[in-house]
Amino acid sequence: QKEVEQDPGPLSVPEGAIVSLNCTYSNSAFQYFMWYRQYSRKGPELLMYTYSSGNKEDGRFTAQVDKSSKYISLFIRDSQPSDSATYLCAMSEYSGGGADGLTFGKGTHLIIQP
Amino acid sequence: NAGVTQTPKFQVLKTGQSMTLQCAQDMNHEYMSWYRQDPGMGLRLIHYSVGAGITDQGEVPNGYNVSRSTTEDFPLRLLSAAPSQTSVYFCASRPRQGGLGNQPQHFGDGTRLSIL
């Protein structure tokens, strides 16, 4: 059963704070994990991509995967008002091909207060 | 670069009407998909295509038809609109080569559809 849980928020934090966004999942076959950012009235855009367990860092963003706990996280350091958006986690059993088999979380609405 | 273009951006329909949501991409991507996004439900896959002439069903295909006559276009048809189809519809594309990390999906900005 494909199921991804994500707290919809809203999550409101002051500018400069460290933000932690999380998803849990139940399908142990998921191997590929993504975070998408979606601004209001726009389509999602890929922010981070990781394979299997471990950490990946890109600028102010760090993605973390713990497959043993079926738990993934996205950390945003030195948060900016421009980071205000909805963050969607997504995961897949496959690296690519066909429909990609992406299963999305419901998204967390993040608000960074200036 | 236009990327993925969806038209119309907004549409209101009456129950029972039919319409076509247009999606076009100018990146020569083989893979194209349609998703719907509903509050509290996340993005759900409706139909997808791996190339011209090839389509298949996703998670929630009922009430929708698709065709892929060209690489560029992937229209989504609502045959007889129902209030349950009120949603935001997103089209996405990506090239066949490379995995999800190397070749992420490109999404359009969506069509907001209301069925009365």
pLDDT in tens, chain A (114 residues): 458 999 888 999 999 999 999 999 999 988 889 999 999 999 999 899 888 888 999 999 999 999 999 999 999 999 999 999 999 999 888 765 455 668 899 999 999 999
On whether any CB of chain B is under 8 Å from the CB of A41, the answer is yes
Which pLDDT score, from 0 to 100, does residue A96 have?
59
Nearest residue, CB atoms, A98 vs list B42, B48, B104: B48
| A4 interfacial to chain B (CB closer than 8 Å) | yes
Contact at CB, B92 and A43, closer than 8 angstroms: yes
Please name the residue that has the structure tokens 């209301």. B114
Q: In this structure, are residues B27 and B97 in contact, taking their beta carbons and an 8 Å threshold?
A: no
What does the alpha-carbon distance between residue B8 and residue B110 come to, in Å, rounded to a whole number?
Answer: 9
Q: Quote the pLDDT of residue B60.
A: 93
**Interface membership of B103 toward A (CB under 8 Å):** yes
